[in-house]
Structures are given as C-alpha cells and as structure tokens.
Amino acid sequence: MARIIDGKKISQEIKDEVRAEIEREGIKACLAVIIVGDDPASQVYVKNKKTACEYCGIRSLSYELKADTSEEELKALIEKLNRDSEVDGILVQLPLPGHINEDNIIEAIDPDKDVDGFSRRSVGALSIGTDGFVSCTPAGVIELLKRSGVDIAGKECVVMGRSNIVGKPMAMLMLRENATVTVVHSKTRHIEDICSRADILIVAIGKPEMITHDYVKAGAVVIDVGIHRIDPEKNDGRKLCGDVDYADVEPVASYITPVPGGVGPMTIAMLMKNVLKAAGKR
Ligand code: GUN
C-alpha cells in the first residue's frame, strides 16, 4: 500500500503562500498569457492559469490570437510586452501552430519575464546551478517530493522521457538535489531493468498506463507526469489516466502520485511562484 501524494492539497498550500506574500508585501504582479489557435486542451490550461492568478492576487492579461497569426505578429506582441513595465511574466501556451517556430518565440521573450523557464538563459542557469526560472512541471515534482518528506540526496532516480519541458529539466533538478540520475527514453535498451533500480521513478513518456509493476522496485517512489483522456465507458467511469498503470503499481510503491490530482495541479502553482519571483526581481 503506497502513500498517496496529494498534489491538489500541496498545490493549494503553495498558492496560499503566494497569495499571502503578495498581500503582505503589497506586491503588484502581472502575467501576460498568449494562446494561438483553438486547441481545446490549451484553452482549458490557459483558463486555469487565469483562475489561479485571480486567486493569488496576480493581474492577468490574456491574448487569444487566431490560428493563422504569423510568427512576426506574435513576435511583435511579445516585444511590446517585453517593453511594458507593468508586465512581470510572459507565457506563450505551447504547442503553437506548425507554421510558427517555437524556439524563435521562446527566445523572443525577455529572459527576465520567462516564467515558464524555457529560454536558453533559464535552461543554462539550471544546468550550471545559478539562479533562474525553472520549468514549472519539474519544479512542481521537486516540491511534491520535499513536502511529502521524501529524501532525495543519494537516491537512485530514473527519469523516463527526455523532453525539453519535463525530462531534461527534471534530470537537472534531481542532480541539483544530489540524486544519482539516469534518463531513459524510447531508444534505451533493457529499460525495465534500469527502471527497476530506481528509488525514485519519474515517468514522463506520454504513453497511457505503460508503466506496470514490472518497472518498479518494491518500495519505490513513483511520480506520474503523464495525463491522458480515456473513454469512461471502457475504463470503469475514469476519464483520465497517467503514464503509470496506477492499480498495478500502487501495491508495490511506497509513495505514488494519482492522475488526476498529482503532478497536474502543481504546474500552475509553480507558475504562480515564478510570477511572484519575477515581480520581486523587478
Ligand atoms: N504546454 C504544456 N505545458 C506547458 C507549460 O508548462 N507551459 C506552456 N507555455 N505551454 C505548455
């Protein structure tokens, strides 16, 4: 029987801390959120970000651009927000439509306003261990572990997945916490053997319920970053699942994050923390 890491509760604590600090210090913080096109999942994420801003006492500006917006138009808006002294953080919701180069857009954001932590300067700072904005989802995983009392230093950590948003920064953060880190991916051989060595297994592979108990050492901490929509009629009424087969893994793990209610809510809470940091810096 694993202990369940309650991301909903922990993310609420963090939002309450941000809200209290903003109130206590009389901080004026403002986040600009840009969405291009009408991807339904992105629209839900953006709406949730706005709601969290409101809760924390952060002003949010929202820019909803048509799917055929050009890269130049998007850059022009970012440059305007870069110059706007009222704006502390700029977030461009990803993915962007195919005709826009995401890398160019991320680099157009002033690194001092890069609350997503995606820019080269932010990623560089993370890898050499200097101060900077850290990508929200992996930063949220660290908070979940620490606030659940999981010791990280000296532990064997396996990160499954090597995306720029999750896997790579996650590995860097776990290194910073003095874990021994292995990253596995689609070309890794003997993947089950490697995962089975992990004291802490962090899964971000984007494959519904792929991780069964065969990948998990008895007593391991299992963090599931995946989230997938599934048919409730074929899944006992469940609408969402993660990359981990929860029912199969839970009996062997010591701690586990559920989906929903695990890592998911942490991303927005850490974004609120990054906006507060951006406002404090300026
Ligand atoms: N799309 C999926 N996750 C994220 C995120 O953390 N930030 C942004 N900007 N887009 C995303």
**DSSP secondary structure letters along 244-264:** B-HHHHTTT-SEE--SSSSSH
Q: Is 55 among the domain residues?
A: yes
Residue 16 Cα, ligand 1 centroid: separation in angstroms? 22
The pair phi, psi for residue 53, each rounded to 5°, is: -60, -50
The verdict on 88 and 189 lying in the same domain is no
The verdict on 27 and 99 lying in the same domain is yes
CATH number of the domain at 78, please: 3.40.50.10860
Residue range 144-173: average pLDDT? 98
pLDDT at 195: 98
CB atoms under 10 Å from CB of 97, counted, come to 16
Quote the percentage of the chain above a pLDDT of 70.
100
pLDDT at 130: 97
The verdict on 81 and 151 lying in the same domain is no
The verdict on 179 and 239 lying in the same domain is yes
What 3-state class would DSSP assign to 222? strand
Q: Which of 44, 102, 116 to mutate to test the pocket of ligand 1 (most atoms within 8 A of CB)?
A: 116
- Residue tagged active-site, from 6, 15, 49, 155: 49
Of all atoms in ligand 1, which is nearest to the CA of residue 91?
9
Q: Is 238 among the domain residues?
A: yes
In the predicted structure, residue 57 carries a pLDDT above the cut 80: yes
In the predicted structure, residue 282 carries a pLDDT above the cut 80: no
Domains: count for the chain: 2
pLDDT tens for residues 98-137?
999 999 999 999 999 999 999 999 999 999 999 999 999 9
Residue range 233-256: average pLDDT? 97
Q: Is 259 among the domain residues?
A: yes
Q: Is 179 among the domain residues?
A: yes
pLDDT tens for residues 71-97?
999 999 999 999 999 999 999 999 999
The verdict on 109 and 141 lying in the same domain is no
Which residues are 241's β-sheet partners? Answer: 228
Which protein residue has the closest C-alpha to ligand 1 atom 11?
94
Residue type, 150: V
Active site residue 43: no
- Residue tagged active-site, from 93, 199, 273, 277: 93
pLDDT at 73: 98
The verdict on 105 and 140 lying in the same domain is no
Q: Which of 49, 133, 165, 266 to mutate to test the pocket of ligand 1 (most atoms within 8 A of CB)?
A: 165
Active site residue 116: yes
Residue 94 Cα, ligand 1 centroid: separation in angstroms? 5
Q: Is 121 among the domain residues?
A: no
In the predicted structure, residue 281 carries a pLDDT above the cut 90: no
pTM for the complete prediction?
0.97
d(CA 220, CA 75): 45
d(CA 93, CA 36): 8
Quote the percentage of the chain above a pLDDT of 90.
99
- If pLDDT is split at 50, 70 and 90, which confidence band does 44 have? very high
Q: Is 122 among the domain residues?
A: no
d(CA 275, CA 282): 11
d(CA 104, CA 39): 21
Q: Which residues contact 38 (CB under 8 A, 6 or more apart)?
A: 67
Which residues are 202's β-sheet partners? Answer: 159, 223
Residues framing ligand 1 (Cβ under 6 A): 91-94, 116, 136-137, 165, 267
The verdict on 88 and 184 lying in the same domain is no
pLDDT at 152: 98
The verdict on 143 and 257 lying in the same domain is yes
Which range of residues forms the domain containing residue 216?
A: 136-265
The verdict on 109 and 203 lying in the same domain is no
Average pLDDT, the chain: 97
Q: Is 260 among the domain residues?
A: yes
Of all atoms in ligand 1, which is nearest to the CA of residue 267?
6
Q: In the numeric block, which tokens belong to residue 59?
A: 């002003």
- Residue tagged active-site, from 6, 88, 114, 116: 116
pLDDT at 1: 86
Q: Which of 36, 39, 45, 166 to mutate to test the pocket of ligand 1 (most atoms within 8 A of CB)?
A: 45
Q: Is 202 among the domain residues?
A: yes
The verdict on 89 and 52 lying in the same domain is yes
Q: Which residues contact 65 (CB under 8 A, 6 or more apart)?
A: 34, 35, 36, 37, 73, 74, 77
Which of residues 83, 116, 149 is at a domain's end? 116
The verdict on 105 and 225 lying in the same domain is no
CATH number of the domain at 241, please: 3.40.50.720
Residue range 211-216: average pLDDT? 98
Of all atoms in ligand 1, which is nearest to the CA of residue 271?
6
The verdict on 78 and 175 lying in the same domain is no
Residue 204 Cα, ligand 1 centroid: separation in angstroms? 14
Where do the H-state alpha helices sit in the chain?
A: 7-25, 40-56, 71-83, 102-108, 120-128, 136-147, 167-176, 191-195, 246-249, 264-281
Which protein residue has the closest C-alpha to ligand 1 atom 8?
93
d(CA 166, CA 136): 9
Going by the DSSP 8-state scheme, the letter that residue 211 receives in this structure is B
| Contact call for residues 123 and 65 (beta carbons, < 8 A) | no
| C-alpha distance from residue 121 to each of 89, 118, 127 (Å) | 15, 8, 10
Of all atoms in ligand 1, which is nearest to the CA of residue 137?
6
